[in-house]
Amino acid sequence: MSTIMKLVSFAMLLILLLSVDVEGSESDGSLCCNTHPNFGVCKTQQDKKRCNTWCLKGCKNKKGGFCKRLPSRPQCHCYC
């Protein structure tokens, strides 16, 4: 009985993980809720304004973006 319970628990966990990943992705190419390393440099005040403008144009929610601090380097992140 415990083997069946383990399999059911594993299957439910797997389904949960897959559904979270699908929910976070935007199929219409929207930039919202994502960090974008392809944006390029994001260090100066001018870069921060450019990131915000880029996110405003690419996101349907029109909330903009900011330069998010990451261990490697700051990257443009668009608000949800």
Domain residue spans of the chain: 2-78
Q: What is the model's pLDDT at position 39?
A: 86
Name the pLDDT band for 7 (thresholds 50, 70, 90): low
- The continuous run of DSSP H or E covering 42 comes out as none
- Half-sphere exposure (Cβ direction) of 62: Cα atoms closer than 13 Å: 0
pLDDT of the residue at 24: 39
- 31-78 pLDDT per residue, tens: 889 888 888 888 899 999 999 999 998 888 888 999 998 888 899 999
Nearest to 61 by CA among 32, 22, 39, 38: 32
Higher-scoring residue by pLDDT: 77, 20: 77
pLDDT of residue 70: 87
